[in-house]
Structure 1
Amino acid sequence: MRRYGGTVIFQGMDDDGLIEVVEEGVTRSLHFGSSAKQSTLDISRPEQLQLAYTAAMMSALLFQPAPANIALIGLGGGSLLHFLRHHYPDSEIDVVEKRSDVIAAAKRFFQLPDDDKLNIYLGDGSDFIRNCRASYDLLLVDAYHDDGMDDATDGTHFFQQCHQALSEQGVMSINLWSSHASRLEQSLLAIRECFNGHCLRLPVKGRGNIIALAYRNPQTGNLRTARQRAAVMEQQLELPFGIFLRDLRRHNLSLFSRLFS
């Protein structure tokens, strides 16, 4: 069956709705009943990030380039996990996904990694963050259903928990996406409040996504240091960190004018 410009190789249904896997050549994408791609993986090179928003989420590495403990809220097809496991093989990674059928699809169709430094939990991301005992150097939040952000991972209470779950030099990168601009702004305001203003916004070019980067320690967001490491990281990780830094500066002028003065 043709759908979303490709061939549907799997279609399932759980209590949260439709789960579809669509194949286009060497790529596979996960959909939740709409044309929006939740994950896309190149089966021949799974460590390469195919979607602009997932690449933009990795801009957090400008501020925390050596995360030893990582948490992912939302598995999807596991594209972020593949990238991190490839480039940070010694890091401990916890992944939380609330839909068991999504985990099953990731294992069956998206070459989900399996090693002793990777822990995959079935459950609610908000519950996990509230009860976690680890301090994370990198916290990635990408939890969605078919028409927008998961309510459980959006709002002041959740962002306060994320603040507490970070290490002193930790960074949260969250994918904000909604068809309602007012909700995006509300989410950004809530993050800024919970992180004492230590929050940067990075709109994803050509998309409706905004990536928010938030951190506990104001020194973590030192843009001079980030600028110095951007070129090296761009070669090592094959991501456009120079462009990320330029766009971060453009969209956070008041903060950057102080940091670059």
Structure 2
Amino acid sequence: MNAPDRIDKIIEIPIAGTPYRVVDEDGWRQLMVMGNDASMHCEMLIRAPDVMASRYARLMMNALPFPPRLDDILLIGLGGGQQTKFLYRYLPGTRLVTVEIDAAVVDISRTYFMVPPDDERLTVVVDDGGRHVAAHPLCCDVLLCDGYDHTFNVPDSLAGEEFYRACERALRPGGVMALNLDRRSDAWRAAHLRLLRRIFDSHLELPVNENQSILLLFKRDREQDYPALLRRAKRLDELLDLDLASFIGSLEHRR
């Protein structure tokens, strides 16, 4: 085997008092768990920290055209803040609240992943996401839930009927929840979908890979107006460059 033309410089930063480490390699920064080389929670392109690198995170943005307004977005789970940073930069007319249970993750995200400080548009709250959602009905137009801990498990407070009913109540009419769903097993996924169908008006599943899906969960106040959806998607594409119009067009074609 020929030797590689170059060897990437790797810098590893352990975060004392936490299970996390930050790894810089070949222009990318990753948040990983100590002692586990397959434990990447998020990554950031260092020269463009507001870019969303993860396909699943970009798929979650497909929720954005559906609500009639985008005044408020609630995010559960911060991690390296890729969705928070992206929305903060490109949707200047939208207020963001991000809820993160681990204060150490908030410190890491701001020290190493360039999450901006709180201001009139952004608030990062250290709290349990389930408790926060239950206390804030009708607070948001979009709810993005990506609440996995350092073991890649979902806390009990972010699963189950009580949590999802609170999420449905947190959405304003016409609002949408995007859920990062680990498809642990066919039986587990099927049971989860049965539960969600009892709570939300409808859902749409967007596969990421064989082990992961994004679920869009709708709180509709009327039937979808596809011409209006397409207009909103095109306006958002001018800001976000996510090709949302093609996504909406594909839904209308399949209708």
Aligned to 2:165: 160
CA 241–129 in structure 1, closer or farther in 2 if over 3 Å, else same: same
Is the aligned partner of 1:107 residue 2:105? no
Q: After superposition, where does 1:226-241 map in structure 2 within 5 Å?
A: 226-227=229-230, 229-241=232-244
Deviations 1:121-145 (A, max 9, x none): 1111000001125520111100002
- Secondary structure class of the residue paired with 2:173: strand
Which of 70, 73, 77 lines up with 1:70 in the alignment?
A: 73
Which of 102, 119, 123 lines up with 1:119 in the alignment?
A: 123
Give the paired residue count: 243
CA 32–230 in structure 1, closer or farther in 2 if over 3 Å, else same: same
Distance 1:65 1:24 in 2: 41
Aligned to 1:31: 32
Structure 2 unmatched ranges of 5 or more: 1-8
Identity %: 27
Which of 33, 47, 51 lines up with 2:50 in the alignment?
A: 47
Equivalent residue letter for 1:136: C
- Secondary structure class of the residue paired with 1:140: strand
Which of 135, 150, 166 lines up with 1:131 in the alignment?
A: 135
| Contact 2:68-2:174 at 8 Å conserved across structures | no
| Contact 1:215-1:221 at 8 Å conserved across structures | no
Deviations 1:5-52 (A, max 9, x none): 9542234444xxx22222123321222455243222223222211000
Distance 1:53 1:142 in 2: 10
Aligned to 1:202: 206
Aligned to 1:21: 22
Computing the radius of gyration from Cα coordinates, the structure with the larger value is: 2
- Secondary structure class of the residue paired with 1:187: helix
Aligned to 1:191: 196
State the superposition RMSD in angstroms.
2.6
- Secondary structure class of the residue paired with 1:186: helix
Structure 1 residue 223: Cα displacement:
4.4
CA 166–122 in structure 1, closer or farther in 2 if over 3 Å, else same: same
Structure 1 residue 74: Cα displacement:
0.4
Distance 2:226 2:153 in 1: 31
Distance 2:153 2:223 in 1: 30
TM-score where L is the length of structure 2? 0.84
Equivalent residue letter for 2:93: D
Distance 1:20 1:89 in 2: 32
Deviations 1:73-101 (A, max 9, x none): 00111000011101112322111101111
Equivalent residue letter for 1:24: E
TM-score where L is the length of structure 1? 0.82
Structure 1 residue 182: Cα displacement:
2.6
